[in-house]
Amino acid sequence: MIRRLLILILVLAALSGVAEAKIVCSTTVLASIVEDLTGEKCEVVASPSVCPAHYDIKPSDVEKVSEADVIVCHGFEPWVDELVNASGKDIKVVKVSGPWNTPQALRDKYVKIAEVLEEEGYKVNLKKCLDSINETEAYLKKFAEENEFVGTPVVCMQWQKGFVEFLGFNVLATYPPPEMVSAKKYEEIVEKGKGAKLVIDNLQSGTEFGEKLAEEIGAKEVAISNFPLEGNVTTMMIENAEKLAEALKSEAEETPSTTKSSPGFEVAMTICIIVIAVALKRRT
């Protein structure tokens, strides 16, 4: 009897040891989703501070991937195949393409990755994650109304358009990665962007172009992230919305000082001076 119990314990231990495949993710977007669904820490390759398409892989990244059974990526990272080949292992590559920076797009990502995880032997808590996204969506809609996002004209980097429009902003123009903006394209953006309150940069794509554009059209520049620096994507969405609210408030506070030097104000002041001068001359 004892012998049979020992055999059963050894069999169960062996099965549990191979039940879950080791997963590595290319970005913090995907890693945070895996962690939310499983409750387990997930290794990530690319730093969230840079665009994954331009990430330079390191020897330590090869080591991470070589220990994995599955690598989950977006599909636009040119270095994934290189890492898999360098690992010398037959690693399964799962591509989860498409945007993620609106609540609906994010829900789709959680559903897709939950399916992948279940296929690899993981137990997932999808309902809890979807409920959290729904709560964040409701919070953001209320926050957008309270901070008067709806209808406010802006220009934004194209990777942020979905999120910015979800918040209710009126996107007058978008721009691609700075290295893809020609002189002609820049003139078009400036023309379409006249009247914008904000120029919204994508942090991972750099801010120099947005700062120049904002100065050109008289708007306030603000950079928001497309990859979680900490926490998960819903945390990032809330942080991004708060940054936009702060930028809009700052823009409104700066506006009065600019209106005082407007042509209409200067003309009115000139007329007042002339009237006063004429009145004083008559008295004398």
State the amino acid at position 41 in one-letter form.
Answer: K
- pLDDT at position 15, please? 42
Closest C-alpha among 52, 20, 26 to residue 38: 20
Backbone angles phi, psi at 72, to 5 degrees: -100, 130
Closest C-alpha among 26, 218, 21 to residue 122: 21
Residue 12 to residue 239: CA distance in whole angstroms: 44
State the amino acid at position 191 in one-letter form.
Answer: E
Fold of the domain built from segment(s) 140-259? Rossmann fold (3.40.50)
- pLDDT at position 230, please? 94
Residue 172 to residue 152: CA distance in whole angstroms: 10
What are the residues whose beta carbons fall under 8 Å from the beta carbon of 219, sequence distance 6 or more?
154, 155, 193, 196, 197, 198, 199, 213, 251
Closest C-alpha among 238, 216, 29, 258 to residue 136: 238
pTM of the model: 0.82
- DSSP-derived secondary structure letter, 170: E
Whether 140-259 and 20-124 are alike in CATH topology: the answer is yes
The residue extents of the domains of the chain are 20-124, 140-259
- As its CATH architecture, domain 20-124 has 3-Layer(aba) Sandwich (3.40)
pLDDT tens per residue across all 284 residues of the chain: 444 433 343 334 444 444 578 999 999 999 999 999 999 999 999 999 999 999 999 999 999 999 999 999 999 999 999 999 999 999 999 999 999 999 999 999 999 999 999 999 999 999 999 999 999 999 999 999 999 999 999 999 999 999 999 999 999 999 999 999 999 999 999 999 999 999 999 999 999 999 999 999 999 999 999 999 999 999 999 999 999 999 999 999 887 554 444 444 454 455 555 545 545 555 55
Helices (H), 120-202: 126-146, 161-166, 183-192
231 dihedral zone (left: phi>0; alpha: psi -120 to 50; beta): left
- pLDDT at position 35, please? 98
Query: How many alpha carbons fall within 13 Å on the CB side of residue 15?
Result: 6
- pLDDT at position 5, please? 39
